Amino acid sequence: MIWIETIVNGILVGGLYGLLGVGLALIVGVMRVVNVSHGEFMVLSAFMGVSLAGTMPWLHPAALLVPILVIFFGLGYALQAVLINRIITRPDPFAAILLTFGLAVVMRNLMLEGFGADPRTLTAGTLAQASVPILGLAIGVLPLLVLGVSVVLFVALQLVLTRTRLGRIVRATADNRDVARLMGVNPAHVYNIVMGLSLALASVAGLLLAIRSSFTAYTGVERLLIAFEVVVLGGLGSFWGAMLGGILLGVVQLVGLKFDPNAGPLYAHLLFFVGVLLRPNGLFGARA
């Protein structure tokens, strides 16, 4: 019984991992850019959440989601417009990696300066302890809500990409930037919006993850690692793959911890290792 509960909890946290990865998958798919500071933005969002919750204790933490999402969309737009668009036309793929790596280092240290070195968590109050009995299992209300948010955002992203004019433009620009320009598309503007979406998704993931586990200014690296593994495991360019990859990682992580409480994230990383060995292009990538 306890195993089923663990697996279910793994799925719930896996949905969150998927959300972490989807933001990264988006920019890798559209711009072929790896944002090494993706994790730092997640941590920044958590710090912002803690600060906002501190100054407005009467506000339910859930109410923070939408304003943070909007703020980070703006940050992503600005990041792309001011920094990344300058180097994106270069053929060298390392330019973006180096730039965002530098940005990550700067952000880490600024956050350390600004928020201090103590580990923090975002408290969800009584919601954190509540659980509902489903099919004889005690499933936490909070993890369910978190999965719910992840799924909603994920589906919303898919809908935007497949059903809207903007989504069409984004997919076309990802396919062939020059031909998209021939249709009147300004690629820089498209990239700004996509980066905004990416960081908006990261910010929500960061906020929700901060409820589950504590964080410091240095936690970004861990977060990036999960996002990266989710994207690669799922298959570059596949969003459903990222979600599935996240769920697999989540399940293996929690089951592994039940066996071996001191393992930390070892089993999730082992799964990634084995997964990439067996399917180098990921679950939904092309067969190698």
Partner 1 sequence: MTLLEVRALDAFYGDFQALFGLTLDVRVGETVALVGANGAGKTTFLKCLVGLIGTKRGEIRFSGDEIGRKPAEHIAQLGLSLVPEGRLLFPSLTVEENLLMGALNRRPGSWTLETVYDLFPILRERRRLSPNALSGGQQHMVAIGRALMANPKLLLCDEISLGLAPLVIEQIYRSFARVRADGASIVLVEQDVKRATAAADRVYCLLKGRVTLEGGARELGLDELSRAYFGT
Least distance between partner 1 and beta carbon 30 (Å)? 10
Amino acid residing at 157 = L
Between CA 268 and CA 149 the distance in angstroms is: 23
- Which residues on adjacent β-strands are paired with residue 138? 133
Report phi then psi at 118, rounded to 5: -70, 140
Between CA 3 and CA 10 the distance in angstroms is: 10
- Please check whether residue 149 is in contact with residue 65, taking contact to mean a CB–CB distance below 8 angstroms: yes
Residues at the contact surface with partner 1, assessed by CB under 8 A: 165, 168-169, 171-172, 174-176, 178-187
Least distance between partner 1 and beta carbon 168 (Å)? 5
Nearer to partner 1, 29 or 61 (CB): 29
Least distance between partner 1 and beta carbon 178 (Å)? 6
Nearer to partner 1, 203 or 238 (CB): 238
Nearer to partner 1, 8 or 194 (CB): 194
Nearer to partner 1, 51 or 162 (CB): 162
Least distance between partner 1 and beta carbon 41 (Å)? 27
- Please check whether residue 134 is in contact with residue 11, taking contact to mean a CB–CB distance below 8 angstroms: no
* Interacting residues of 189 by C-beta distance below 8 A, sequence separation 6+: none
Least distance between partner 1 and beta carbon 99 (Å)? 23
Cβ atoms within 10 Å of 103's Cβ, excluding its own:
18
Nearer to partner 1, 182 or 277 (CB): 182
Nearer to partner 1, 187 or 275 (CB): 187
Nearer to partner 1, 32 or 60 (CB): 32
Least distance between partner 1 and beta carbon 23 (Å)? 19
Least distance between partner 1 and beta carbon 136 (Å)? 44
